[in-house]
Amino acid sequence: MAAPIPAQQTLLEQALTDLSLRPRPAIRSIRPAPGVHRGAWLVRISSAQRATCDQERALLALFLSRSASDIDPGARYERAALAGLPAPSILARAENDDQVLLLCAMPSGEPLVNMLRAERAPWEISSAAVSLARFLARVHRTSPEELGLTSNEPVAAWSSERALEEIRSSLSAFPLPLRSTLSQALDWIDANLDHGAVAVPTFGALSMAGLFAVAGEIEVALGWESLTLAPAGHDIATLLQAMQPIEVTIRQQFVAVTVASYLQTTRSQLPDLPALALLAFLERATMAWSARSSNASAALSDVSAADMADRVERALQASRGGLTTAARHDFTL
């Protein structure tokens, strides 16, 4: 049986005590579930000494790291629930200086990622897309204050303009072929962004494995600790990155239906989605190349830069072709 580190084990024992069950439940099994959510563990408990599988209870333990800004990640989940959004049911909570543990009921429903497999019928894929669009519309319409987000907290806000500026300010550190290609991509993004877009609550990095659907609606969502203020299109643009492992035709259908349903539900326009998608890719690409080059020889850095320049050029051309073309593009690094 896998086990958390001692500090996490202490938090888990504390949370189980706070459940106020008599007799105190014992842990029957525990295993990490990073595919569900980063920091997630699946826990099975029982109060009986020799419990059968039917007598055991499954729980979801979320170990959430505190950020440098000291924002309480658990409070994001609690605020989402109070706002009527589909947060998991929190049964107990424990914390230390580094982490917050939320011990939750197991989410009901089917993970959205399971509905995006080749054996699923096209209508099931479209149904999953519609459920995601409705969910995002609900989140984006929620008041930032209800979710504990304020624009005067720099760590709680993402801005396309700031992201562009951060990449531009680092261009001098890149070799010339990559630097030139990045500059062209940034110019195209800048010219195609909606610079007047209103910032709304967004996830910034959606995980299909952390969304659970029941009867066409998202019943439980994980990831509330990552909420930030950004243009609504940011969530859909980063969706392209999250869906890279999905087969291309499914990905294209899912993105197309998600966007169409979202625009219909919100009666809005998101003309800069391709630009936002390319910007999300550039943020990842520049960070990855910088990390790679800092641990490589000069020769290897040159090769990596040439390869990255080609990837950026192809991503730029796909984005210029519009959202449909971008949805078919391979944005993996």
| Low-confidence winner among 100-104, 231-235, 268-272, 294-298 (lowest mean pLDDT) | 294-298
Q: Which residue has the higher pLDDT, 155 or 10?
A: 10
Residue 134 phi, psi dihedral angles, 5° rounding: -65, -40
- pLDDT tens-digit profile of 179-193? 999 999 999 999 999
Smallest Cα–Cα separation from 92: which of 100, 80, 82, 104? 104
Q: Which residue has the higher pLDDT, 67 or 194?
A: 194
Compute the distance between CA of residue 12 and CA of residue 95 in angstroms, rounded to an integer. Answer: 9
User: What is the model's pLDDT at position 66?
Assistant: 86
Residues 6 or more apart from 151 whose CB is under 8 A from it?
144, 157, 199, 229
Using alpha carbons only, give the angle 206, 218, 59 rounded to the nearest 5 degrees: 85
User: What is the model's pLDDT at position 68?
Assistant: 57
Residues 6 or more apart from 141 whose CB is under 8 A from it?
200, 266
Compute the distance between CA of residue 236 and CA of residue 263 in angstroms, rounded to an integer. Answer: 11
User: What is the model's pLDDT at position 299?
Assistant: 43
Query: Across residues 153-181, what is the average pLDDT?
Result: 84
Over 80: is that where the pLDDT of 257 sits? yes
Domains, the chain, ordered by start:
6-106 (3.30.200), 111-328 (3.90.1200.10)
Highest mean pLDDT among 6-15, 65-74, 97-106, 288-297: 97-106
pLDDT band at 3 (very low <50, low <70, confident <90, very high): low
pLDDT band at 177 (very low <50, low <70, confident <90, very high): confident
Q: What is the mean pLDDT of the chain?
A: 87
Over 80: is that where the pLDDT of 77 sits? yes
pLDDT band at 298 (very low <50, low <70, confident <90, very high): very low
**H-type alpha helices, the chain:** 6-18, 73-82, 122-141, 160-169, 176-192, 233-242, 248-266, 273-293, 298-320, 323-328
User: What is the model's pLDDT at position 48?
Assistant: 57
User: What is the model's pLDDT at position 53?
Assistant: 54
- pLDDT tens-digit profile of 132-144? 999 999 999 999 9
- pLDDT tens-digit profile of 222-237? 999 999 999 999 998 8
